[in-house]
């Protein structure tokens, strides 16, 4: 009787139904060929008039009309999709054999929305079954749908890259491609060491759906090793990883790729502020440089993994000299052999400096307890200041500061006369050479108006000993903290509020630039919690560090000025 019903139903829908006869149990399932994408080999069907196959359904009210399909697994990971043409609430149920165990039961969305099953761990060559049915008790108005099956195709390293030796970290290897790049989420590469300790590494390419892979993207790559290389696809939807394809062998050259001073810098003349570069080694962790003047060799590392080097980083570099320069690249703990040796010359002069008139305007009056600064000369060994009195007869005054610090306080210069004007010029020493005096800037020495950089009504002191005595007189074991009221934007004052401090404490405020150079300091006594202290300032745009110091604590805050 059931067979007669099938025959009658088949004749009735012969012209209307896209599938041949109803596939209403797994033994008569419609076979679907797996495509490279879910848009390949799409089957159209309808549940209208289809019977219930009799097997218990994994979701929904049960006993719903269903249609069965089968497919042969072409990869271990496959996808099954069903898309309603109308208001079907699609359910997909996958089993591992006709009458077998349920592998997946998918009904994540409501009526009229597509469902997709992602399957993994399938046995290639086996036949699997699935059925489609309506998972809602209410009857749909449109029971049509389409369905398809897709597999993740196997890929592999292209033949022309297999079996090659002498690879370097900057080389590119390429995979074969899937049929439809639009479904590819990523390429995953597997590298199996062929020498001890025989580790295996898996790397998802940062190049996304592009089959090209730069070897230095493999973080554990080592020169002198050989690898079996295989690759697989990550596929949408999901993404889900497919099966690794066949492997083949590649071999890295024995030594890290060598480098050297770039040709554009060879035999040129440079100052300490200049930057030179080495030829790049892809993925290098850092670069080491050697400078040889035929008497000794100086070695220095560049910053991080940068192939560029500022000459001011090279210790004991001298001006007016010729150096033989060699560069080395380090890759995963291995250093390259020396590359080509090239010559580099340093200039035979010291760059000019001078009083920074963008801060201290020529012709202005500057209090004697203020500091002034010179324009920076890279890696200067000292700055020498000359003061020539233009108000009355006086011997020239000199002040030299060694160690590369270009800041001085005017009160450090012995015999400066308050109220007199002085022509100021400065020269720097660098690389064992002495520079020329700078252009002149005339200033008038004013009366002291506070402590150092800051002018105000705070606690004045005569020497470091006197203010240190005040600090040491603070209460013991007292916590201290402060907050900035105007932490940015002002160049004429800094306002702080003490958020935590013992009553009637003394605080020393110190200001530093980002090179850890002290710009000035100021001492204020009688401070308690919630007190606000205004620190008048003369600052140029930039970032500074304000430090508050008591007997027991030091707290630092960042100050932005623009």
Last residue of a domain, one of 104, 123, 151: 151
State whether 147 and 15 are in the same domain: yes
Last residue of a domain, one of 319, 346, 373: 346
Residues 6+ apart with CB under 8 A from 14: none
Question: Over the range 278-303, which residues count as b (16 or more CB within 10 Å of their CB) and which as e?
Answer: bbebbbbebbbbbbeeeeeeeeeebe
pLDDT at 369 over 60: yes
Percent above pLDDT 90 for the chain: 61
Strand-strand pairing, 454-455 and 450-451: antiparallel
| Average of per-residue pLDDT across 154-162 | 95
Calculate the CA 483 to chain-centre distance. 31
Beta bridge partners of 91: 133
What is the pLDDT, as a whole number, of residue 370? Answer: 83
In a domain, 167, yes or no: yes
Calculate the CA 43 to chain-centre distance. 47
Place of tokens 């080097």: 309
State whether 7 and 146 are in the same domain: yes
Residues 384-403 have pLDDT tens digits of: 999 999 999 999 999 999 88
If one counts every other C-beta atom within 10 angstroms of the C-beta of residue 32, the result is 18
State whether 109 and 9 are in the same domain: yes
Structural domain of 392: 365-448
Residues 6+ apart with CB under 8 A from 264: none
Q: What gap in Å lies between CA 28 and CA 432, rounded to an integer?
A: 95
In a domain, 355, yes or no: no
Residues 94-129 have pLDDT tens digits of: 999 999 999 999 999 999 999 999 998 999 999 999
- Whether omega for the bond prior to residue 237 falls within 30 degrees of 0, making it cis, is yes
Range ranked top by mean pLDDT from 196-205, 499-508, 544-553: 196-205
| Average of per-residue pLDDT across 282-294 | 96
| Average of per-residue pLDDT across 186-199 | 96
State whether 17 and 125 are in the same domain: yes
Residue 538: pLDDT band by 50, 70, 90 thresholds?
low
State whether 7 and 134 are in the same domain: yes
State whether 338 and 380 are in the same domain: no
What is the pLDDT, as a whole number, of residue 15? Answer: 40
Calculate the CA 419 to chain-centre distance. 55
Q: What gap in Å lies between CA 523 and CA 505, rounded to an integer?
A: 11
Residues 407-461 have pLDDT tens digits of: 888 988 999 999 999 999 999 999 999 999 999 999 999 988 644 444 333 333 3
Collapsed DSSP state (helix, strand, coil) of residue 394: coil
pTM of the model: 0.65
pLDDT at 11 over 60: no
pLDDT at 213 over 80: yes
Residues 518-535 have pLDDT tens digits of: 777 788 888 888 888 887
In a domain, 257, yes or no: no
In a domain, 356, yes or no: no
In a domain, 256, yes or no: no
State whether 67 and 139 are in the same domain: yes
Place of tokens 């074969």: 176
Measured at the CA of 530, the angle between CA 526 and CA 534, to 5 degrees, comes to: 70
Beta bridge partners of 439: none
Q: What gap in Å lies between CA 104 and CA 560, rounded to an integer?
A: 60
pLDDT at 486 over 50: yes
Residues 336-362 have pLDDT tens digits of: 999 999 999 999 999 999 998 887 789
Greater confidence (549 vs 462) lies with: 549
State whether 247 and 140 are in the same domain: no
Number of domains in the chain: 5
Residue 543: pLDDT band by 50, 70, 90 thresholds?
confident
By the 8 A CB rule, do 484 and 494 touch? yes
In a domain, 381, yes or no: yes
Q: Following DSSP, what letter does each residue of 197-246 receive, concatenated?
A: T--EEEEE-TTTT--EEEGGGSTT--TT-EEEEEEEEEETTTTEE-----
Residues 292-324 have pLDDT tens digits of: 999 999 999 998 899 999 998 998 889 999 999
State whether 15 and 119 are in the same domain: yes
State whether 12 and 111 are in the same domain: yes
Percent above pLDDT 70 for the chain: 87
Last residue of a domain, one of 391, 418, 448: 448
């Amino acid at each position: 009787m059931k067979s007669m019903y099938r025959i009658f139903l088949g004749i009735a829908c012969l012209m209307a139904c896209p599938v041949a006869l109803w596939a209403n149990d797994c033994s008569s399932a419609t076979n679907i060929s797996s495509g490279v994408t879910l848009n390949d080999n799409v089957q159209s069907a309808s549940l209208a008039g289809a019977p219930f196959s009799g097997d218990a359904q994994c979701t929904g009210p049960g006993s719903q009309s269903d249609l069965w399909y089968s497919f042969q697994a072409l990869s271990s990971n496959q996808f099954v999709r069903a898309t309603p043409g109308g208001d079907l609430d699609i359910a997909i149920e996958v089993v591992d054999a006709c009458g077998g165990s349920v592998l997946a039961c998918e009904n994540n969305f409501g009526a009229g929305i597509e469902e997709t099953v992602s399957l993994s761990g399938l046995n290639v060559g086996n036949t699997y079954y699935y059925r489609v049915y309506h998972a809602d008790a209410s009857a749909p108005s449109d029971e049509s749908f389409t369905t398809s099956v897709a597999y993740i195709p196997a890929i592999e390293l292209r033949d022309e890259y297999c079996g090659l030796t002498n690879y370097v970290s900057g080389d590119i290897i390429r995979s074969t491609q899937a049929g439809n790049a639009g479904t590819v989420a990523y390429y995953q590469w597997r590298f199996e060491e062929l020498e001890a300790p025989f580790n295996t590494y898996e790397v998802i390419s940062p190049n996304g759906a592009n089959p090209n892979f730069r070897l230095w993207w493999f973080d554990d790559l080592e020169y002198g090793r050989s690898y079996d290389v295989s690759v697989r696809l990550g596929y949408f939807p999901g993404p889900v990883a497919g099966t690794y394809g066949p492997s083949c062998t590649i071999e890295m050259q024995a030594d890290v790729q060598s480098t050297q001073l770039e040709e554009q810098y060879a035999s040129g003349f440079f100052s300490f502020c200049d930057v030179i570069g080495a030829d790049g080694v892809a993925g290098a962790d850092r670069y080491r440089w050697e400078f040889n003047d035929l008497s000794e060799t100086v070695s220095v590392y560049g910053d991080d993994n940068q192939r560029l080097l500022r000459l001011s980083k090279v210790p004991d570099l001298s001006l007016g000299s010729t150096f033989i320069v060699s560069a080395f690249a380090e890759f995963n703990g291995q250093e390259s052999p020396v590359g080509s040796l090239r010559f580099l010359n340093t200039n035979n002069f010291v760059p000019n400096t001078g009083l920074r008139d963008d801060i201290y305007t020529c012709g202005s009056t500057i209090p004697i307890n203020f500091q002034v600064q010179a324009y920076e000369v890279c890696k200067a060994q000292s700055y020498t200041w000359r003061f020539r009195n233009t108000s009355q007869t006086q011997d020239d005054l000199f002040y030299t500061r060694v160690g590369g610090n270009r800041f001085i306080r005017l009160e450090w210069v012995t015999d400066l006369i308050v109220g007199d004007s002085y022509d100021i010029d400065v020269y720097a020493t660098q690389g064992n050479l002495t520079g020329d005096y700078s252009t002149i800037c005339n200033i008038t020495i004013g009366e002291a108006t506070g402590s150092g950089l800051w002018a105000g009504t705070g606690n004045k002191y005569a020497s470091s000993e006197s203010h240190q005595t005040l600090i040491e007189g603070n209460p013991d074991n007292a916590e201290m903290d402060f907050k900035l009221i105007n932490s940015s934007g002002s160049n004429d004052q800094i306002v702080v509020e003490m958020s935590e401090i013992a009553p009637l404490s003394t605080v020393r405020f110190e200001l530093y630039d980002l090179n850890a150079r002290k710009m000035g300091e100021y001492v204020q006594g009688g401070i308690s919690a919630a007190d606000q202290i205004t620190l008048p300032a003369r600052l140029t745009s930039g970032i500074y560090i304000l430090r508050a110091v008591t007997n027991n604590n030091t707290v630092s805050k960042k100050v932005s000025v623009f």
